[in-house]
Amino acid sequence: MPDSMERREFLRLGGRTALGVALGATGGSALLAACGTSTPTAPTAPNNGVSTARPRRGGSLVMGVEAEEQGFDPRTARFDSTGILYARTVYDPLTIIAADGSIQPYLAEAVTPNADFSEWTIRARHDVVFHDDTTFDAQALYANLTADKAGLLSGLALATMEKVSIVDAFTVKVTMKQPWVPFDVYLAGGIGGQFAWMVSPQALAKGDLTSHPVGTGPFVFEEWVPGSHFTSTANPHYWRPGLPYLAEMTYKPIPNDTSRIDSLLSGAIDIMHTDIPDTITALRSHPAYGFIDDAGKVVGEVDMDYVMLNTGKEPFNHLSARQALAYGIDYDRYLRLFAGGVANASNGPFDEGTPFYGATGYPTYDPAKARAALARYRQETGKDLTFTLGTTSTPFNSSRAQLFQSMWDAIGVSVNIAQFAQNQFINNQITGDFQASLWRQGAATDPDMNYVFWSPTTSGPEGGFATNFARETDPRIETALQTGRTNGSPAARATAYQTVARVFAEDLPYLWLDRDVWAIGARPGIENFNNPSTPTGGKGFGMISGIIWPTEIWISS
């Protein structure tokens, strides 16, 4: 009975969430009763986060998020999924991704390239003020872009920018060192686009943005207690008339997914994001709760789960060691245990449905080839293959790490597991203080936003600062990335990124696992959490990788 065996193994590894087990066995009522709440009355139609009803003003919303950010300064903060949620609350980006995937002006009134994309003109929207009453104009654009250029993290993303020139009171010209085709995509403020978020020049000068952000956004900073909550209140002078609808927005970091879903069911939070398949499956099947996921929505590159290998030091500076691990992963077994029917296997950084996806030749499970690669490693080094696999301190990731440990043990590889708090874990990758890590990354609305993570120019030795965490230095990658950055032809760009994926499949700095699907769950009465709009009234693109817009959410009950 293979299904029963797999379930027993999964439970032994501790991978199922309490919610998944409870809803699978009881339909949810027992768990809801245990949380001290009654089962809500199911709405007549599932709440998919899009409402055409007349919004109700006021109310406080609490959102449970997977991790804490290290601050609000776009020059130094990491701005992962949680960080971008924070940013969208107190800041505004210069552009927005529309529902059709196009880039539309947002805080900027217009963003226009010259013929070869080597110059971009940005015109500021008039009559916009920051939370400290400073005017948003050309001076503010200049102050932000030049400060970001000098920033530790934001400066890496802006390495292609040569200078910013003020054209008139509301217009600047950005001159590049070379053509930069998707520059306007960065200005939408996705992962990798930290310099999109406009902050008050006065706040920049004070230098306290890490703990006291001042933007033009829909909410004004109220309080941040790291690890506990971040609270903001409605901006009474927001430049978008009638918005926001909420009076107060609070985020609560709850790293443990089971605790987060329990908080939603008990009423301690109103809405949450998750990328844990069991939780997603349970929320999908519960009609009383609002639910969306991004399983069928593709813009650029989705989040991917993978094992990242440090190719800059032992043992994974040897291709044979990387090959042994790649051939030693039983992907069907992994998907049965950890994808929960939610995610599909991946063979590279891009998912089907984008022009960047193509055949890669990525290795499939083959224990014989794994052992042969392991023999080559022993011949090259005179050593057995042993290493430490790092992960964050969550039950889901701990269970995944144990599964890989058992798989690789079966082919003769010795694996130690080390768990870290998320901030320390990320710092380990930046400084190269790791051998292998369970990693999740992507959500790049254009593949060029991975440049700082994939380019050989951003690699470095252990102990130094590097955003090419895997220390992959194949020159073919840089050639393809430059084509993707500078060539305006969609076909040429697609071919370039398909090349990147094929080189990754040969070099194996990343052992691809599955697409990381994200979902939002909301208690009854939370409306319009997946229905952003552009300033001209068009539809914006909804949730990407657990990131939503708080601006147009409202509470009906």
- Location of structure tokens 């409202």: 554
Check residue 308 and give its pLDDT.
98
Q: Would 75 be classed as within a structural domain?
A: no
Q: Are residues 541 and 475 in the same domain?
A: no
3-state helix, strand, coil in the chain (%, to 5): 35, 20, 45
Check residue 422 and give its pLDDT.
83
Q: Are residues 9 and 45 in the same domain?
A: yes
In a 3-state reduction of DSSP, which class is residue 224? strand
- Cα–Cα dist 257/67, whole Å: 10
What backbone phi and psi angles, to 5 degrees, belong to 513? Answer: -115, -75
Burial of 142 (0-12, 13-18, 19+ CB in 10 A): middle
Q: Are residues 555 and 443 in the same domain?
A: no
**Domain of 356?**
304-515
Check residue 45 and give its pLDDT.
53
Render pLDDT for 140-157 as a digit per residue (tens, 0 to 9).
Answer: 999 999 999 999 888 989
Q: Are residues 418 and 312 in the same domain?
A: yes
Q: Which of 190, 209, 228 is the last residue of a domain?
A: 209
Count of residues for the chain?
557
Q: Would 83 be classed as within a structural domain?
A: no
Q: What's the first-to-final CA gap in the chain, in angstroms?
A: 48
Which candidate, 297, 306, 347, 341, places its Cα nearest to that of 547? Answer: 297
Q: Would 371 be classed as within a structural domain?
A: yes
- Cα–Cα dist 79/193, whole Å: 9
Render pLDDT for 297-316 as a digit per residue (tens, 0 to 9).
Answer: 778 788 999 999 999 999 99
Q: What parts of the chain have a pLDDT lower than 70?
A: 1-45
User: Apex CA 157: angle with CA 152 and CA 163, to 5°?
Assistant: 90
Q: How many angstroms from the chain centroid is the CA of residue 199?
A: 22
- Cα–Cα dist 183/190, whole Å: 12
* CATH number of the structural domain spanning residue 105: 3.90.76.10
- Location of structure tokens 């609000």: 72
- Tokens representing residue 166 in the block: 């003020």
Q: Are residues 362 and 313 in the same domain?
A: yes
Helix extents (H) in 232-302: 257-266, 277-284
Q: Are residues 523 and 511 in the same domain?
A: no
Which candidate, 297, 287, 255, 248, places its Cα nearest to that of 272? Answer: 255
Render pLDDT for 10-62 as a digit per residue (tens, 0 to 9).
Answer: 233 333 333 333 333 223 322 222 233 333 333 345 789 999 999 999 999 99
84 and 78 Cβ atoms separated by less than 8 Å: no
Considering the entire predicted model, what is its pTM?
0.89
- Cα–Cα dist 145/161, whole Å: 9
179 and 488 Cβ atoms separated by less than 8 Å: yes
| Cβ atoms within 10 Å, residue 260 | 26
Number of domains the chain contains: 3
Residues 366-379: b if buried by 16+ CB within 10 A, e if exposed? eeebbbebbebbbe
Q: Are residues 451 and 358 in the same domain?
A: yes
- Cα–Cα dist 300/46, whole Å: 28
What DSSP string runs through 37-74? -PPPPPPSS---S---SPPPP--EEEEEESS--S-S-T
